């Protein structure tokens, strides 16, 4: 190894069109601009088939992106796994599905999850297939607790998905059956917290879905329309609601019922899973809860057994970059704030908690603030930068990685000024890391896991609106090495080509199952 290597992941920073909706270009980013003007670089595909998703219409996300970055391979991911298992019937043949359906006799089967076809956390078509199969197998009562998206799909598209679901429920509501939407709320308000950043969100979801507490409406559509008129919020931020009949909730989740969390992505599924699963749960008071038969679409963390029951096995990723580096005795350091800490550790290591070698790896988590990201767009970029520079100065590590979440987390708010500020904070961090690289003798690689901040608006039918979802744009891959010029080979590359490149630059041999190196 000629020099130790630093990898900077600018989360949610792709190559946009350079227009007024491209916050990456609109921001003042002199360091990133200089690197792109003077350093070897290329652009990587970060969505669709390049990261194991079903088609190139599917936007990438941080989880599959970090899987690909850290594993050097492309694995079939959540949406594709679920779709295949539904199509071939394997899901319905699982012992977990059979037990859930059998348990629902005389009780109810509940479905909780994100209601959209964004294919990032869930897919409404999976929910519809499960509902139809439940009806075919004799389930009389099935209730949907819907989380509104507006983040991986257009910002105010919830009514379209609710309408689609209501049409299906109407078909299934034959005599003696009750299939209905029971509760819901915006994904950034209830249930779908991650990394234990805000347990209050999960508690609010529990009160809404399980206990039927909250403002009542005659339908989900009425709730959405009323909240929009009152608050002006986009879908992801709409408050919780309970659907009622005759002044009472359509359905609470009662002790002994069957419950399926139909999200396939793990990060925002773990906390609500723990609330249902764990007897020693102490994050909030669950009331008179004694237990249900609960299952996730996948097991969201195998090492921590979250949840205990699940419909499908997640991909088991082996031969990760961390395994290769540990086998070679390379010391590693990884850091981010809470919002993306799991991405540079758990997802990076192939959906695996813990470390490969305690003696060789150091991970640091900087607690994220519980505050709307548009109000503090710098997030913890300063603290991440300081940790990175300290790690470089220590000269203890030969491979150092970090994630700056700003482009993604602030990007999802849709607030352009805040996203621009967030990007400028990332650039300031990048500048300090480049300076430290010169001082302490590091090669710096700069990339991203998917796009977001690069496409903050979209135009449809002549109307331009705020975009809060990820983009389908490629992401940069830059090599900064003061003292040596690297050449990136011609070719079409994706995120999975990064790990092989790191290994090649270190003079190590990559596993045969990996993609090719770019140098």
The catalytic residue positions are 62
Q: Tell me the C-alpha to C-alpha distance, in Å, between residue 371 and each of 198, 318, 410, 481, 491.
A: 10, 37, 11, 37, 42
Q: Tell me if 64 sits within 8 A of 53, measured CB to CB.
A: yes
Q: How many CA atoms lie within 13 A of 25 on its CB side?
A: 12
User: Is 82 within 8 Å of 90 (Cβ atoms)?
Assistant: no
- How many C-beta neighbours within 10 Å does residue 228 have? 16
* CB neighbour class for 328 (10 Å; exposed up to 12, middle 13-18, buried from 19): middle
Q: Tell me the C-alpha distance between 141 and 173, whole Å.
A: 9
Please name the residue that has the structure tokens 């079409």: 492
CB 72 within 8 A of CB 501: no
Core vs surface per residue 89-102: b (16+ CB within 10 A) or e: eebbebebbeebbe
Burial 234-245 (b: 16+ CB within 10 A, else e): bbbbbbbbbbbe
Q: Which burial class, exposed, middle or buried, applies to 497 when counting CB atoms under 10 A from its CB (0-12, 13-18, 19+)?
A: buried
The helix/strand/coil state of 165 is: helix
Residue 382, CB half-sphere, CA atoms under 13 Å: how many? 4
Distance CA 424, CA 410 (A): 12
DSSP state of 154: -
DSSP-derived secondary structure for 349-385:
TTS--S-S-TTTEEEEEEPPPSS-GGGSTTTTHHHHH
DSSP letter assigned to residue 235: G
Q: Is 135 helix (H, G, I), strand (E, B) or coil?
A: helix
Query: Tokens 């470089």 belong to which residue?
Result: 392
Phi/psi region, residue 367 (left: phi>0; alpha: psi -120 to 50; beta: rest), is beta
Q: Which residues contact 276 (CB under 8 A, 6 or more apart)?
A: 259, 292, 294, 307
Q: Please provide the distance, in angstroms rounded to a whole number, between the alpha carbons at the two ends of the chain.
A: 14
């Amino acid at each position: 190894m000629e020099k130790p290597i630093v990898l900077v992941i600018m989360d949610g920073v792709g190559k946009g069109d350079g227009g007024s909706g491209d916050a990456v270009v609109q921001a003042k980013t002199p360091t990133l601009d200089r690197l792109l003007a003077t350093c070897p670089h290329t652009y990587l595909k970060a969505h669709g088939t390049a990261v194991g998703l079903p088609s190139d219409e599917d936007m990438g996300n941080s989880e599959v992106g970090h899987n690909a970055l850290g594993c050097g391979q492309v694995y079939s991911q959540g949406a594709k796994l679920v779709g295949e298992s539904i199509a071939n019937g394997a899901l319905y043949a699982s012992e977990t599905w059979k037990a859930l359906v059998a348990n629902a006799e005389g009780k109810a089967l509940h479905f909780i999850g994100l209601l959209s076809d964004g294919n990032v956390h869930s897919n409404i078509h999976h929910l519809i297939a499960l509902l139809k199969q439940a009806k075919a197998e004799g389930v009389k009562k099935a209730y949907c607790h819907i989380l509104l998206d507006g983040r991986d799909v257009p910002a105010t598209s919830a009514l379209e998905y609710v309408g689609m679901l209501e049409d299906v429920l109407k078909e299934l509501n034959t005599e003696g059956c009750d299939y209905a939407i029971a509760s819901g709320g915006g994904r950034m308000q209830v249930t779908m917290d991650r990394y234990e950043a805000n347990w209050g969100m999960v508690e609010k979801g529990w009160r809404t879905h399980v206990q039927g507490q909250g403002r009542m409406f005659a339908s989900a559509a009425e709730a959405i329309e009323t909240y929009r008129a009152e608050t002006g919020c986009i879908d992801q931020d709409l408050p919780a609601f309970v659907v009622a009949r005759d002044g009472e909730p359509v359905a609470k989740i009662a002790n002994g019922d069957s419950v399926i969390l139909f999200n396939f992505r793990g990060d925002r599924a773990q906390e609500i899973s723990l609330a249902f699963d764990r007897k020693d749960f102490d994050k909030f008071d669950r009331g008179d809860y004694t237990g249900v038969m609960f299952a996730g679409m996948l097991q969201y963390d195998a090492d921590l057994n979250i949840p205990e029951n699940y419909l499908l096995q997640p991909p088991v990723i082996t031969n990760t970059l961390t395994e290769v580096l540990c086998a070679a005795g390379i010391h590693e350091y990884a850091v981010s704030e809470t919002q993306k800490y799991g991405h540079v550790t758990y997802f990076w290591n192939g959906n695996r908690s813990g470390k490969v070698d305690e003696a060789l790896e150091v991970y640091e988590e900087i607690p994220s603030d519980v505050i709307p990201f548009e109000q503090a767009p710098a997030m913890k970029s300063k603290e991440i930068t300081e940790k990175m520079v300290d790690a470089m100065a220590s000269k203890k590590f030969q491979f150092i990685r970090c994630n700056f979440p700003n482009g993604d987390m602030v990007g999802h708010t849709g607030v352009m000024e805040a996203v621009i500020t967030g990007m400028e904070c990332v650039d300031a961090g990048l500048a300090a890391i480049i300076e430290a690289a010169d001082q302490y003798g590091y090669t710096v690689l700069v990339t991203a896991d998917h796009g977001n901040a690069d496409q903050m608006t979209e135009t449809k039918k002549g109307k331009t609106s705020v975009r809060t979802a990820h983009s389908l744009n490629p992401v940069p891959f830059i090599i900064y090495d003061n003292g040596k010029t690297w050449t990136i080979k011609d070719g079409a590359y994706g995120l999975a080509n990064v790990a092989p490149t790191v290994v090649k630059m270190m003079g190590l041999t990559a596993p045969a199952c990996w993609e090719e190196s770019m140098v």
